Amino acid sequence: MRRYLEYKESGVDWIAEIPKHWKIKKIKHVATFASQKSTPEADDIKISPENVESKTGKVLDFYSSYDSMGVKFQVGDVLFNKIRVYLSKVVFAEYSGYSLGEMIVIKPSLQDIGKYLFYLMLSSRFIGYCNSISRGAKMPRTDVYDILNAQIPITSYQEQTQIVNFLDRKTEQIDELIRIKERRIELLQEQRTALINQTVTKGLDPNVEIKPSGVEWIGEIPAHWEIKRLKHVAKILPSNVDKHIYPDEIQVRLCNYTDVYYNDYITVDTVLKKGSCKEREFTKFVLRKGDVIITKDSETPDDIGVPTFVKDNLDNVVCGYHLTLIRPYACLGEFIFRFIQSDRTRRYFELESNGITRYGLGKPSIENLLLPIPTDSEQQQIANFLDRKTEQIDDLIATEHQKIKLLKEYRQSLISEAVTGKIDVRNEV
């Protein structure tokens, strides 16, 4: 994309050069800060930082409670989250409502400048500047008056409108491409799940004779397969090893909840945190190749029973708290892992979990899980097949995720380049 014909130094580090006919002004010279708080009505629109998507300006949903005071905003205002500004939570108000929490309301002196100001404050250059002047360690925040005194590039209203129209059109095109790729990921994940469901209940031979399993949620299975409870083919060992490290205990590496939740496999390359345990805990919960681990409690029931498979022989690694270790002795561990991955088993665990604010899966529910048991050779064939096929699908998913990442980076770059005059978009609209 072409550049302007002439540039000059802006005198502002984060802006660098600007087109020769542009000016530099402080935000307070083109906008004011609204600070008067009042209590919204139940049906008023309310926005808090938690409801805003980072780097896009999209409001994902509206704040549901109305017992908090907020600052009234109007159409054309800009909402800017001044705490942890690196999250880039900025909103252009297309309706009136109330801003809650640390999301401040910037009111442009002229309504025409609002959308341009929104894009400028959303740009990675401006966010980087605000982050550099933030104070605090855990929850860094930027002072309102530092924001108002921030210098920004300004051009004519006509050119601002051209920039806004260009960015509206381009960001919508990019967002549509992202939506297409996100849908592609959803379809691939559905394909992955369907493949696992089919294979662990029907096997690999499409012509095999089938029979009713006797379990409604499993359905039909090959005639020569059996149905057994998990406790008859594996030991069920809920762990009680917490994250505290005591010097008088055995020093180990700990396989924690997140290690299981985010990984299909635990291998020698999995980065695990340090921990400690008693000798009897070490004997009971030290991980071995072929073990399966599942999450046994969470804040939501759909996070219950998420499995991982211990693929390698590990050195000094112990299963941690909030997890249950499944140690197979009469069934291949990777087949158990794949069966638990099926959405049929996941639904079973969701129904079996109990709780109100936190959900837990008791040992009896895990022990009494019914599963189909193929022959030993079929278990290995199924495991090998699903290893190969799921890896292929996972590679496709990873590729789509990378494309989405690049599109988001391009979106951010385009905004920053347009609002600081690094590209000339006047004839692109």
Residue-wise pLDDT for 416-425, tens only, equals 999 999 999 9
Neighbours of 112 (CB within 10 A): 14
Domains annotated on the chain, with CATH: 23-154 (3.90.220.20), 204-373 (3.90.220.20)
pTM tops 0.85, yes or no: yes
Task: Assess whether pLDDT exceeds 90 at residue 122.
Answer: yes
Check whether 388 has a pLDDT greater than 70.
yes
The whole-number pLDDT of residue 392 equals: 98
pLDDT in tens, 71-112: 999 999 999 999 999 999 999 999 999 999 899 999 998 767
Specify the pLDDT at position 300. 85
Give me the DSSP letters along 237-303. Answer: EE----S---TTSEEEEEE-HHHHHT-SEE-TTS--EEEEE-HHHHHHHB--TT-EEEE-EESSGGG
pLDDT at 117: 97
Of 22-36, 99-113, 312-326, 368-382, the poorest mean pLDDT is in 99-113
Question: Where residue 25 falls among pLDDT bands split at 50, 70, 90?
Answer: very high
Beta strands in 35-159 (DSSP E): 37-38, 46-47, 70-73, 78-81, 90-92, 97-99, 103-108, 151-154
Instruction: Express each pLDDT in 42-77 by its tens digit.
Output: 889 999 999 999 999 999 887 666 567 899 999 999
Q: According to the model, what pLDDT value does residue 429 have?
A: 62
Confidence tier at 353 by pLDDT (50, 70, 90): confident
Q: Which helix (H) or strand (E) holds 326?
A: strand 323-328
